[in-house]
Amino acid sequence: MFPSQPADELVYGNLPILFDNPTDHLVFRKNNIEANKYYKPLLGLKNSKNIYERIVNFPLHQNLTSYEIRLMIKTIRTLLI
């Protein structure tokens, strides 16, 4: 995946998803998904607060299993319905 990166080292990233409605990352944590909110809203800026309430960051790295990926997709879909 990354030619200069040793194959046994984890390259960790995150996949931010912006939901239509306010979404708490703890809903995903309860389903054993390591979701987080990394960015805090800028004080006094309405759009910043709106985005903060709707964004959730999901794990994104080469060691995710097929099961973990399917679990994330299933849980996200459940919240969207």
Mean pLDDT of 5-25: 83
Stretch (H or E) spanning 50: helix 46-54
- Whether the Cβ atoms of residue 56 and residue 28 lie closer than 8 Å to each other: yes
pLDDT interval class at 8 (50, 70, 90): low
Nearest partner of 65 among 73, 77, 76, judged by Cα? 73
User: In this predicted model, what pLDDT tens digit does every residue of 21-67 receive, in sequence order?
Assistant: 999 999 999 999 999 998 899 999 999 999 999 999 999 988 899 99
Question: What pLDDT, on a 0 to 100 scale, did the predictor assign at position 65?
Answer: 92
Mean pLDDT of 11-22: 90
